[in-house]
């Protein structure tokens, strides 16, 4: 795992060595093992290396192929690189790295090399002969790449802070996404919070030459769905998933450095640890955060799995004061504002401090195997679609009644949904993911809402496909394409790489995703949590883990914001209130109402303000 950066000039100037070095040094946390730059005429490539496969200096980057024509900067891992390597006849390899396999594959197949790769990646290849830059991102968006274009200059990097360090990218906020951040606690790709800085979409590649930029999609979660499960018995589908899952875990154990796994005690991480233990001959190193509050802590279930598979278990007792002490570090690690993330930072930090450079995670299991309540809620709304045949006035009255009886977030969302044209996923899913709606935000945001709902746009784009998915798979596609890619994966990348830890996610093996997306709802119906996954894994998971009460420790954020973190938060909220896109009086009144315990203002509403202002200040972002 690494950090990549680059500058491409199609005017008469040449990239400055000092600038590319500033960009790569801003990525030092991602790659402490080596730093490299390569500059020639109009192109500069930079790289920071975290050595995982082929630890020799021969595999350092930027890397030039045998012909001298292609130069690559690569972030990620290609798990099947040995399989791809066996197809590259006639190329004389000088390393055992996956980096060289990528550049050799590109030399042979061009952009079609992407069809051969199984892994997580973001890479850039410069073609000297064509004077052309090729940049690609993995199918599910595990590894990020951002880019900036101004006239005939293009910059790209693994992180936004690296682009800003170039001093070429103006530190200007992207005003049109302010509402989106407070609505969904993130900004959805391709947009970012920086004006004219974009994120390459998952499953996309881009070619940059003197003619301009051409972006193409090479994989799509709906169009690439595998429907081979149709007509198969439940037992046969479970057998297929079992093989795909074990293959996914096995592929992700390729490493030349010590590795381990996050173990929360839930179904997904337990499944990953169980599979690792059955595949790997040595005890797996597992890492769990425990809490004093045993009523909420999942540590006892993690210990149960650790004992079952005799792992080398590391349990870190996290006290509230420990978390608060680490919070400034976690916030400084944020490359892009997000309402979530500190938990990922802490578990990554303790894992890295234990001498582990790579860890597997259970991320993606809920999205793929109907683990969230939104799956059953969507099914229920589908069954009650007759409600939307009632006159709008009657639905408006019904919504008023619901919020009068109970003024909570669920009631407000139901009222909002009743006023929608129908209960289809296009309208119901965005509401389910909202932190606040446009009417609520208008009270304290001065910037006018542009009417664009990013999540609704994602659903509309997914619906353009002529492929019709089962209902649960439609929800999976929506979850993966919105919250998972733009919150969970982004936070996992920035928080783990902040401490130079590589995280691999077996549930996002694209072959497993393609297959499960094609499985009918009847087989996925979660009569108990993630039934299809659990049944597919046989005796891998004990009943105590599968059928336990849903838990999950909740930090006392509301108390912290009112007490221990009050000054820290207040300073940032008052500073944010003075920025031109916020209503100063309304926001300060909102903070006062929260401190007084008045209804209607939640801690998350205020925390999003704190995170945003902290990020704006740290990066000197202007309005």
Q: Which active-site residues does the annotation give? A: 2
CA distance 95 to 50: 16
- Of 536, 417, 425, nearest to 477 (Cα)? 425
Cβ neighbours around 381 below 10 Å, total: 21
What would the two tokens of residue 271 be?
């499944």
Nearest to 196 by CA among 174, 180, 223, 226: 174
DSSP string, 301-363: HHHHHHHHTT-EEEEEE--HHHHHHHHHHHHHH-SS--S--HHHHHHHHHHHHTT-SEEE--T
- What span, in angstroms and rounded, lies between the C-alpha atoms of 240 and 506? 15
User: What separation in angstroms does the CA of 581 have from each of 283, 444, 610?
Assistant: 53, 9, 15
User: Which tokens sit at 110?
Assistant: 């061009």
Secondary structure (3-state) at 432 = helix
DSSP tag of 234: H
Nearest to 237 by CA among 578, 519, 553: 519
Asked whether the CA dihedral 340, 342, 343, 345 is positive or negative, the reply is: positive
Sheet holding 153-157, edge to edge: 34-40, 43-49, 2-9, 153-157, 146-150, 197-199
The first and second tokens of residue 616, run together, are 């704006």
Inter-residue contact 264 to 288 (CB < 8 Å): yes
In angstroms, rounded to a whole number, what is the distance separating the alpha carbons of residues 498 and 534?
Answer: 33
Tell me the C-alpha to C-alpha distance, in Å, between residue 449 and each of 185, 186, 445: 16, 16, 9
Give dist(CA 308, CA 51) in Å, integer: 32
């Amino acid at each position: 795992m690494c950090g990549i950066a680059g500058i491409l000039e199609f005017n008469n100037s040449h990239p400055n060595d000092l600038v590319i070095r500033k960009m790569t040094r801003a990525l030092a946390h991602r790659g402490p093992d080596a730093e490299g730059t390569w500059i020639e005429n109009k192109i500069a490539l930079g790289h920071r290396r975290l050595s995982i496969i082929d630890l020799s200096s021969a595999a350092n980057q930027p890397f030039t192929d045998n012909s001298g024509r292609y130069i690559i900067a690569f972030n990620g891992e290609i798990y099947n690189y040995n399989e791809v390597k066996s197809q590259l006849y006639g190329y004389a390899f000088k390393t055992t790295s996956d980096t060289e396999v990528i550049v050799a594959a590109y030399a042979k197949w061009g952009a079609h090399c992407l069809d051969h790769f199984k892994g997580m990646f973001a890479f850039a290849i410069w073609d000297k002969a064509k004077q052309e830059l090729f940049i690609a991102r993995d199918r599910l968006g595990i590894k990020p790449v951002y880019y900036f274009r101004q006239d005939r200059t293009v910059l790209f990097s693994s992180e936004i802070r690296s682009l800003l360090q170039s001093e070429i990218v103006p530190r200007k906020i992207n005003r049109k996404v302010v509402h989106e951040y407070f609505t969904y606690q993130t900004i959805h790709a391709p947009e970012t919070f920086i004006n004219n800085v974009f994120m390459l979409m998952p499953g996309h590649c881009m070619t940059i030459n003197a003619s301009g930029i051409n972006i193409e999609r090479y994989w799509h979660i709906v169009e690439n769905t595998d429907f081979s499960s149709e007509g198969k018995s439940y037992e046969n589908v479970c057998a297929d998933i079992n093989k795909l899952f074990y293959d996914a875990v096995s592929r992700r154990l390729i490493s030349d450095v010590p590795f381990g796994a996050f173990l929360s005690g839930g179904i997904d991480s337990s499944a990953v640890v169980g599979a690792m233990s059955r595949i790997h001959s040595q005890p797996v190193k597992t890492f769990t955060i425990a809490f004093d509050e045993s009523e909420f802590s999942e540590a006892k279930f993690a210990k149960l799995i650790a004992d079952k598979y005799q792992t080398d278990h590391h349990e870190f007792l996290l006290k509230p004061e420990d978390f608060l002490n680490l919070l400034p570090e976690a916030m400084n690690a944020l490359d892009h504002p997000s309402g979530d993330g500190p938990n990922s930072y802490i578990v990554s930090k303790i894992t890295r401090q234990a001498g582990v450079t790579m860890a597997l995670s259970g991320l993606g299991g809920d999205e793929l195997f109907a683990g969230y309540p939104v799956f059953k809620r969507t099914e229920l709304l589908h069954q009650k679609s007759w409600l939307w045949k009632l006159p709008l006035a009657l639905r408006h009255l019904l919504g008023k009644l619901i919020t009068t009886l109970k003024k909570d977030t669920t009631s407000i969302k139901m009222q909002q949904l009743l006023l929608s044209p129908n209960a289809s996923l296009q309208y119901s899913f965005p509401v389910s993911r909202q932190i606040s709606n446009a009417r609520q935000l208008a009270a304290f945001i001065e910037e006018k809402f542009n009417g664009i709902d990013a999540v609704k746009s994602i659903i509309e784009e997914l619906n353009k496909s002529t492929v019709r998915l089962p209902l649960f798979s439609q929800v999976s596609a929506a979850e993966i394409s919105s919250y998972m890619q733009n919150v969970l994966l982004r936070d996992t990348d920035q928080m783990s790489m902040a401490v130079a830890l590589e995280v691999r996610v077996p549930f996002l093996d694209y072959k497993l995703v393609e297959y499960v997306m094609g499985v009918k709802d009847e087989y996925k119906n979660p009569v108990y949590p993630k039934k299809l996954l659990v049944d597919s894994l046989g005796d891998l998971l004990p009943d105590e883990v599968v059928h336990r009460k849903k838990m999950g420790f909740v930090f006392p954020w509301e108390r912290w914001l009112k007490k221990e973190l009050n000054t820290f938060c207040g300073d940032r909220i008052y500073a944010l209130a003075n920025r031109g896109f916020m209503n100063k009086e309304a926001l300060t009144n909102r903070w006062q109402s929260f401190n007084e315990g008045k209804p209607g203002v939640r801690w998350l509403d205020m925390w999003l303000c704190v995170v945003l202002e902290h990020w704006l200040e740290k990066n000197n972002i202007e309005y």
